[in-house]
Amino acid sequence: MKTDSIDAECVARVLLNRFDKLPLAVPSDRLFTLKSLVARRESTNKIKAMLKNHLHTLIYENYPNYHSFWNDISCQSALAFYGTYPSPSCLMESSLEELTALLQDASKGLVGKPKALHIWQTVEHNEVPPCEHEAIRNITICSTVAQLKVAMDGLKAIEDELEYFLDLFDYPLTSMKGIDTITAAKLIAEIGDINRFSSPAKLASYAGVAPVTYASGLTNIQYANKRGNRTLNEIFFRLAMGFIVLRGNQKVAVNPFFYEYYHKKLAEGKTKKQALKCVQRRLVTIIYNMMKHNEDYINPPVSFPERDKLLESKKHQASFH
């Protein structure tokens, strides 16, 4: 779709003057379905986030210390609690045993009496007086919880469908650690048929990853490409960001090859932004080849010189004891 008036006029002229010579558009029903699933998941995920934020606002008024109850307000036991006891007065009409049973049932035994006791004691210690229109507020909280459950169930159903639907494409993208089902589906939905790109450079240009060159006389300057498919560009950006950081308590790289590649570019004198762009460009090439040749991703052997030196030093010290 063209939004620029000049481009739109050019497209219209081509359609009018060369309509009989243009190739027939044959849409892929499979790709269209995948795009629809991805779009539906994105919209459902936004609804889920909106409802969670709204529930945070509503719950705070009744349970000021609710952050100590659960790390995630949308977990099953939390939703069961707020849907049953939207206000402290509702909780106080019940008993500790009933609360324990509710949490155990909602969490399938993972949450029990310790959590129930903590909530009960916290609510008793921080007594919140009932407001004038508490009944209406309770209805608002319960309806929000119900909507959030529906959104979460819908999201799960869509993600299950996406996992099944990806098997219809011969693109083994999930073989690369760091690319899950959702990311793979987004990549395929935005790239489409890989055969429409004759080279990785074409795909990089389409994704806005390849730099744009402005040349005039003896001047030759490259700028970041702010055009291209911005959704696809964001996917490659997020993938690259995930690959260059260390995760977990053990500080392990999700993809050691890209982690080392990023730091290699930094050692060559590139800025962090430039090094990250190099990772994105390398990612485009690898993903292009995976899709083009239907090949699984295999991590090449990687060395960590600094780590190897440290291990060698420890071995050397141990040999003297």
Residue 101 amino acid letter: A
Give the C-alpha separation, 298 to 286, whole Å: 10
In terms of Cβ atoms closer than 10 Å to its own Cβ (0-12, 13-18, 19+), residue 162 is buried
Radius of gyration of the chain (CA): 27
**Which of residues 136 and 252 earns the better pLDDT score?**
136
- pLDDT tens, position by position, 9-56: 888 888 888 877 777 665 568 888 999 999 999 999 999 999 999 999
Closest CA to 89 of 58, 109, 62: 62
**Fold of the 30-167 domain:** Helix Hairpins (1.10.287)
Give the C-alpha separation, 296 to 309, whole Å: 32
> Using an 8 Å Cβ cutoff, are 106 and 165 in contact?
no
Distance, first Cα to last Cα, the chain: 72
Q: What is the pLDDT of residue 117?
A: 93
Give, in order, the Cα–Cα distances in Å from 308 to each of 227, 230, 265, 296, 313. Answer: 42, 40, 20, 29, 9
Classify residue 5 by its DSSP letter.
H
pLDDT over 60 (residue 307): no
pLDDT over 60 (residue 229): yes
pLDDT over 90 (residue 125): no
- pLDDT tens, position by position, 49-91: 999 999 999 998 888 888 999 989 999 999 999 999 999 888 8
> Using an 8 Å Cβ cutoff, are 160 and 182 in contact?
no
Query: How far is CA 275 from its chain centroid?
Result: 22
Residue indicated by tokens 């970041």: 224
pTM: 0.76
**Which of residues 104 and 224 earns the better pLDDT score?**
104
> Using an 8 Å Cβ cutoff, are 99 and 61 in contact?
no
On the CB side of 50, CA atoms within 13 Å amount to: 8
Q: What is the pLDDT of residue 311?
A: 47
Give the C-alpha separation, 164 to 166, whole Å: 6
Q: Which residues are paired to 223 by β-bridges?
A: 212
Q: What is the pLDDT of residue 213?
A: 56
Using DSSP, state whether 215 is helix, strand or coil: strand
Please report, for the chain, the start and end positions of each structural domain, with discontinuous segments joined by +. 30-167, 173-314
> Using an 8 Å Cβ cutoff, are 64 and 225 in contact?
no
- pLDDT tens, position by position, 155-211: 999 999 999 898 888 899 999 988 999 999 999 999 998 999 999 999 999 998 876
pLDDT band at 310 (very low <50, low <70, confident <90, very high): very low
What ranges in 63-95 are assigned the alpha helix state H? Answer: 76-84, 88-92
- pLDDT tens, position by position, 244-285: 888 777 777 888 889 889 999 999 998 899 899 999 999 999
